[in-house]
Structure 1
Amino acid sequence: MKTSPRAGMTGEERITVDETNRIVFADARMPAVLATPWLVAHLEYAARNAIAPCLEEHERSVGTFIQVDHLAPAPEGTSVVCRARVIHVDGPVVTFQVEARDDLELLARGIHRRRVIDADRFARRVARKRERLGG
């Protein structure tokens, strides 16, 4: 790492709820809202953004844990801001407090952990696994 992440560092990801990130089972009874898997993905992106300036060119961060309470719906067309704040650093492991909000309320909150890795080493590991799987 160029610099070690520090408690208090923040990252953000903004999205608008649309056909690419809403639930797929919307119908006449169930309104189209932000799907939980997409919410989680954007919370992870916010955390990744928080520590990206600390990483060397050959490094990336990967998610290793997430616990999120999805508290409220975000209807199609809503703007959502996902934020992550570093709360603990233990070497290459960084823990974040994450939350998502729209203009009216808190949509989600939780804890997320990422590990800083060497991307080249990781790619070699994936290639070895792919070979073992026959592909």
Structure 2
Amino acid sequence: MKSGMEIGRTETIEIEVTEDMFASFEGNVVHPVYSTVAMVYHMEWVSRKIILPFLEEHEEGMGAAVQLKHIDPSPLHSKVKLTATLIENKNNQQVLTKVEAFNEHGLIGKGEVKQVILPKDLISQKLSSKQTY
């Protein structure tokens, strides 16, 4: 990894809740609000933005763990702001971020995202060895 990724670094994304983000299973909407699945996706995305400027050409980040507490609902067309803060960087190989999600009423979710930084060729090897025919 390139140098300069320091503890405390933050990244933010802002999204608007859409129907495709609703809590649903097998195509059936259970609750017409921002789902935990969508929140996990956005937490991973904002955390990935932390590492992107520092990846070398031969490296890639992979999600390794997500811990999330979904606190409050957020309805259709509400605005959600997610902020990731770098809290740990082990040897530029394991990156841990704290993530918080807010809507106009306050905190709706919080958690942590762990990413590992690996050489692209190692990732390719791992993926090809897992393929079934």
TM-score by length of 2: 0.89
Paired residue for 1:51?
51
TM-score by length of 1: 0.87
Cα-to-partner distance string for 1:8-66 (whole Å, 9 max, x where unaligned): 11122221111221112446xx4x10110110110011010012111112222111111
Pair 1:105 & 2:106 matched: yes
1:35-114 correspondence to structure 2 within 5 Å: 35-91=35-91, 92-114=93-115
Paired residue for 2:127?
126
Question: 1:124 Cα deviation (Å)?
Answer: 2.4
Q: Is the 8 A contact 1:98 1:109 kept in 2?
A: yes
List structure 1 runs of 4+ shifted beyond 4 angstroms. Answer: none
1:5-20 correspondence to structure 2 within 5 Å: 5-20=5-20
Q: Is the 8 A contact 2:23 2:37 kept in 1?
A: no
Q: Which amino acid aligns with 1:99?
A: E
Q: Is the 8 A contact 2:22 2:33 kept in 1?
A: yes
Query: How far apart, in 2, do the equivalents of 1:37 and 1:17 lie?
Result: 13
Q: Is the 8 A contact 1:12 1:84 kept in 2?
A: yes
Q: Is the 8 A contact 1:13 1:43 kept in 2?
A: no
More strand by share: 2
Q: Is the 8 A contact 1:72 1:107 kept in 2?
A: yes
Q: Is the 8 A contact 1:68 1:110 kept in 2?
A: yes
SS at match of 2:95: strand
Give structure 1 stretches of 5+ with no counterpart: none
